[in-house]
Structure 1
Amino acid sequence: MNYTASHTLILHNIARFIDLTELEKQKYLSLLTAIKVKKKTFLMQAGDITQYEYFITKGCLKVYTLDEDGAPHISMFAVEDYWTGDMSSFMTKEPTRYFIQATEDSELLGISWANYELLFQEIPKFERFYRLLYQRSLVSYIRRSNHGISLTAEERYMAFKKKYPKIVNRITQKDLAAYIGITPEFMSKIISKVNRM
């Protein structure tokens, strides 16, 4: 079967963890919804109930919360071949605290809760896929939390730049500062210092 570029990308992502037959691939793809989001548009806002788990096939999005003063705290950037959403809201149907906003025109594939449950009934091996996906996500979250406690701002920037070389040039310095947890001015000083090294 001829697949679209988006379908090929998500099937390749899944193939890292489980093998699917041709029929299983077709069934899985039939459960997905294609979504397009223009730059600066919100995919989700605080107070919404998360309707989908998202896989990015094109573009870049940022996931963040706002503190009491309205300052953003970015928890992740999601680009091609990444999954994003709020798993807690998705599973509990409680309102999310997160905003997901496109920083570029973006295209995604989403799976709804009903289709997520149907997927496990019809292709049980997907339970393994999502378990491994969530385990990796948890490990990443723990590492990020530890970096926030144990690394300096400069070390956090260097770690981000090393781990996400394809993302660092696609985001604004202001957003990078909100991810690192510093002011844009201090971010500018760190970048200047690192570039002189």
Structure 2
Amino acid sequence: MEHNPDFSSFLHHIAQHVSLTQPEKELFVSMLRVKRVQRKQLIEQPGFISSHRTFIVTGAFRAYFVSPDGQEHTLSLAIDNGMIGDPGSFLLQEPATLFVEALETSTIVQWSYESEQILLEKIPQFSVAMMRRATQIALTIQRRVIAQLSLSAEERYDEFVQNHPLLLHRIPLYIVASYLGMTREFLSKIRKQKRISKR
């Protein structure tokens, strides 16, 4: 099972953060499941408890919520070798508040909440990896909040282009706009102005 290329991709990603023994790798792999997800398919949605962690082998996803006025607000984006989900729902095992949608036909690796409890107990290094992941998420959220409060729309777009060039080429423009907290029309205006200024 360990030779499954999808598992190998995930283990290579984990190995960049922690070092696992061969028995630990075998235990970890025994709890992993591969899924193929079609474009626009939801893997999580409000009202249902998030039962799995999700690692993206190949593909693209977004996590978003819908406000009472019907507007979609994108909270996170992830592509190859990233993770996506509703962390609050998974950690607390309570109904999700986010939709998690595939933006491309994707391959994901998942493990269940129950499996994670075993891994946390049996593999000390797994706890380290999850803590580092949680720290990265917290830092990302902090930076986004500061950017939303202190930067202009154009500055937020410039920062996104600089920090996430791959996302810009794979994520639909209306979703990028939602992530940046602006309308698609306003983002299109910013992009048009930048093209004109480069002439």
Q: Name whichever structure is richer in helix by fraction.
A: 2
For residues 2 and 63 of structure 1, do their structure 2 counterparts lie closer, same or farther at Cα, with a shift above 3 Å needed?
closer
What's the CA shift for 1:78?
Answer: 1.1
1:163 is matched with which residue? 163
| Counterpart residue number, 1:174 | 174
1:20 Cα deviation after fit: 1.1
With the length of structure 2 as denominator, give the TM-score of the two structures.
0.94
What is the rounded CA distance, in whole Å, between the counterparts of 1:84 and 1:172 in structure 2? 17
CA contact (8 A) 2:6 2:34 kept: no
Q: Normalization by structure 1: what TM-score?
A: 0.95
- 2:23 corresponds to: 23
Distance of 1:136 and 1:118 partners within structure 2: 23
Q: Secondary structure at the match of 2:144?
A: helix
Q: 1:194 Cα shift? A: 2.2
Between the aligned partners of 2:128 and 2:155, the Cα distance in structure 1 is: 35
The root-mean-square deviation of aligned C-alpha atoms, in Å, is 1.4
Q: 1:149 is matched with which residue?
A: 149
Corresponding letter in the other structure for 1:29: V
| Aligned position for 2:44 | 44
Distance in 1 separating the partners of 2:13 and 2:149: 31
8 Å CA contact 2:53–2:90 kept in 1: the answer is yes
Identity rate, percent: 31
2:107 is matched with which residue? Answer: 107
User: Partner letter of residue 31 of structure 1?
Assistant: M
Summarize the alignment of residues 45-64 of structure 1 with structure 2, pairs less than 5 Å apart. Answer: 45-64=45-64
Structure 1's consecutive aligned runs of 4 or more residues displaced over 6 angstroms after TM superposition are none
Q: Distance in 2 between matches of 1:34 and 1:8?
A: 12
User: When the two structures are aligned, how many residues end up with a matched partner?
Assistant: 197
1:74 matched residue in structure 2: 74
The unaligned stretches of length 5 or more in structure 1 are none
User: Any idea what the Cα deviations from partners look like across 1:117-164, whole Å, max 9, x if unmatched?
Assistant: 111122122111111110111011100111111111111111111111
Match of 2:83 in 1: 83
Matches within 5 A, 1:126-137: 126-137=126-137
Shift of 1:2: 6.4
**Alpha-carbon displacement from aligned partner over 1:73-125 (angstroms, at most 9, x marks no partner):** 00111111101111211121111110001110011111111100111122122
